[in-house]
Amino acid sequence: MLPALFLYARPVLRRGRRPATGHGMAKRRQSSDRDPGRGGLREMSLMHIFRDSAARRDSRDQGRRYTEGERDLTVLSQKRREGASEESLRRNLARDIASLMNTIRLDVCVDLADNPRVRNSVINHGFQDMDTIWRENRTPGDLAHAIREALIRNEPRLRAETLEVRLDEIAPTVDQRLTFEIIAEMIADPTDIPLQFYAEVDPAAGKIAMKRMQGDA
């Protein structure tokens, strides 16, 4: 599952700039709001660029270039400068979370107690196996907490203080599957993007299925 380890990129920072926080973030958002060139589009990660290129099968096309002033820029560079639509950002996040939910962490099969840096790195990306989750979190509330902690640990695009995981009102099915509603905000520039989706936990099959994800194609 090594390729899955590299699906998650933190917000893109331009060279020479420090991460904006507090008042600096507010000023940055105001600046983006005033940028008429973006037309409501948002900043995007490098992985987003790579995926779009793979979908169009144009990564090896050397002829798609244009000149802006004295700089020769590729079409992909221009796309990153212009930004991405909210729908596109939702779609990419939905794909990554669906993958995360069904990726088992390395420390499930390898003892990382003596390697805390490895345990806390992207190498240990994923969820615990379903048997462990179900054994250690017998109540729906405990299971919701485990899902929330896994999302905070693995998905930096979600704003942790807005993340809520709660049992859906629908009663458990005959095979004891549970559905959890997940509400959060995705960090974005100029404004964060609200999200709502559902995780269906099937203890018998050992799987978590994502349902009704906004932006899911």
Amino acid 19: pLDDT: 42
CB 157 within 8 A of CB 93: yes
User: Which stretches within the chain are classed as H helix?
Assistant: 23-33, 46-56, 75-82, 86-101, 116-119, 130-136, 140-154
In a domain, 168, yes or no: yes
**3-class secondary-structure state, position 196:** strand
Quote the CA–CA distance of 111 and 122 in Å, as a whole number.
16
Amino acid 114: pLDDT: 95
Amino acid 142: pLDDT: 84
Amino acid 213: pLDDT: 67
In a domain, 5, yes or no: no
Amino acid 42: pLDDT: 65
- What domain range is 137 assigned to? 88-211
Amino acid 185: pLDDT: 95
In a domain, 66, yes or no: no
Amino acid 45: pLDDT: 67
- R_g of the chain, CA atoms, integer Å: 20
Number of structural domains, the chain?
Answer: 1
Contacts of 16 (CB under 8 A, 6+ apart): none
Q: Which of 170, 164, 31, 182 is nearest to 93 (CA)?
A: 182
Ordered per-residue pLDDT tens for the chain, 217 residues: 434 433 333 333 334 444 444 444 444 444 444 444 444 566 666 777 777 777 777 666 655 555 555 444 555 555 555 567 888 888 888 888 888 888 889 998 999 999 999 999 989 998 887 777 777 767 888 888 888 998 999 999 999 999 999 998 766 666 778 899 999 999 987 889 999 999 888 877 777 888 876 644 4
Say which residue the tokens 């390697």 belong to: 115
In a domain, 59, yes or no: no
SS (H, E, C) 74-108: EHHHHHHHHCECHHHHHHHHHHHHHHHHCCECHHH
In a domain, 96, yes or no: yes
CATH number for 174: 3.10.450
Amino acid 116: pLDDT: 93
CB 171 within 8 A of CB 65: no
In a domain, 43, yes or no: no
In a domain, 193, yes or no: yes
Amino acid 78: pLDDT: 57
Encoded amino acid at 138, one letter: R
Q: How far apart are the first and last CA of the chain?
A: 23
Amino acid 21: pLDDT: 45
Give 114: exposed, middle or buried? Use CB within 10 Å, 0-12, 13-18, 19+: exposed
In a domain, 30, yes or no: no
Amino acid 171: pLDDT: 61
